[in-house]
């Protein structure tokens, strides 16, 4: 586009531009966006005039705002795509008739559409789940003192991102060797503690504290109700 504009400009003389502006004195009023791109020196000798300084500052602010707007549009587009993927996953979870199906769907979608390296399921067992055959996951008794390490997660009922302590890894993964640089813990809670969905990555920056977790929180709420109904 810029090259095409330059080619067109080669055929226009300064005299032609002057004549056009003379005949159309309201041109810049009708196209004031062009004024932000023009550079009109204000001669004051060796010094820089206040007017020229203000114009330069406004031009820089305008460029910064344009970049910010493009970034916001890009983020909004990514969030819309993420919301659509989450919506389809939630529909599949609601339609699933078994825990095995719920866990399999969730794992596949989080790995395929949400860039999770590994997805682990932890179910907190008690009297109501003692005789139920559960799919591939890790079970932790409700009276296990290790659950105290996750008390804050269940208290806030929000996804927690960051590094895991050795004690937390021992409770979540037992003797399994899992290389964890960072993790996101989604609490499953409905009329009590149900379990956790743990997303792990070897990358220490993948799940960092302070990252937005709105979509994971929404997923956790749906999973909590669905898992509870199946248990």
204-227 residue pLDDT tens: 888 887 666 888 899 999 999 998
What pLDDT sits at residue 4?
62
Q: Are residues 116 and 85 in the same domain?
A: no
Reference 218, options 76, 73, 93; nearest CA is: 93
Domain end residue (candidates: 55, 78, 95): 95
Q: Are residues 82 and 194 in the same domain?
A: no
What pLDDT sits at residue 7?
65
What pLDDT sits at residue 117?
87
Q: Are residues 24 and 126 in the same domain?
A: no
Q: Are residues 84 and 193 in the same domain?
A: no
Q: Are residues 40 and 145 in the same domain?
A: no
Q: For the chain, what is the total number of helices (H) and then of strands (E)? A: 8, 5
Q: Are residues 172 and 74 in the same domain?
A: no
Question: 162: burial class by Cβ within 10 Å (0-12, 13-18, 19+)?
Answer: middle
Q: Are residues 104 and 193 in the same domain?
A: yes
What pLDDT sits at residue 153?
92
Reference 190, options 149, 143, 154, 153; nearest CA is: 154
* 113 belongs to a structural domain: yes
Q: Are residues 114 and 21 in the same domain?
A: no
What pLDDT sits at residue 8?
65
- Range(s) of the domain holding residue 194: 97-230
Q: Are residues 80 and 134 in the same domain?
A: no
Domain end residue (candidates: 37, 61, 95): 95
Phi and psi for 55 in degrees, rounded to 5? -65, -40
Q: Are residues 87 and 104 in the same domain?
A: no
What pLDDT sits at residue 96?
84
Q: Are residues 129 and 24 in the same domain?
A: no
Tally of structural domains, the chain: 2
Domain end residue (candidates: 40, 65, 95): 95
What pLDDT sits at residue 198?
93
Q: Are residues 143 and 220 in the same domain?
A: yes
* 5 belongs to a structural domain: no
What pLDDT sits at residue 81?
77
What pLDDT sits at residue 208?
80
Q: Which residues of the chain have pLDDT under 70?
A: 1-10, 28, 32-53, 75, 78, 127-136, 210-212
pTM: 0.66
């Amino acid at each position: 586009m810029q090259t095409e504009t330059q080619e067109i400009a080669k055929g226009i003389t300064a005299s032609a531009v002057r004549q056009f502006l003379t005949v159309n004195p309201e041109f810049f009023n009708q196209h004031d966006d062009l004024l932000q791109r023009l550079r009109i020196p204000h001669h004051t000798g060796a010094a820089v005039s206040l007017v020229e300084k203000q114009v330069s500052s406004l031009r820089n602010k305008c460029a910064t705002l344009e970049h910010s707007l493009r970034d916001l549009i890009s983020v909004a587009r990514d969030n819309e795509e993420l919301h659509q993927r989450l919506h389809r996953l939630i529909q599949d979870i609601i339609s699933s008739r078994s825990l095995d199906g719920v866990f399999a769907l969730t794992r596949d979608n989080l790995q395929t559409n949400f860039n999770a390296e590994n997805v682990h399921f932890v179910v907190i067992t008690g009297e109501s789940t003692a005789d139920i055959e559960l799919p591939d996951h890790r079970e932790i008794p409700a009276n296990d003192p290790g659950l105290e390490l996750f008390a804050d997660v269940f208290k806030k009922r929000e996804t927690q991102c960051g590094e895991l302590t050795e004690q937390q890894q021992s409770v979540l993964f037992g003797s399994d060797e899992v290389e964890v640089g960072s993790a996101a813990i989604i609490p499953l809670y409905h009329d009590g503690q149900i379990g956790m969905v743990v997303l792990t990555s070897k990358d220490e920056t993948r799940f960092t504290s302070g990252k937005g977790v709105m979509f994971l929180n929404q997923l956790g709420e749906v999973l909590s109700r669905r898992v509870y109904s199946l248990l």
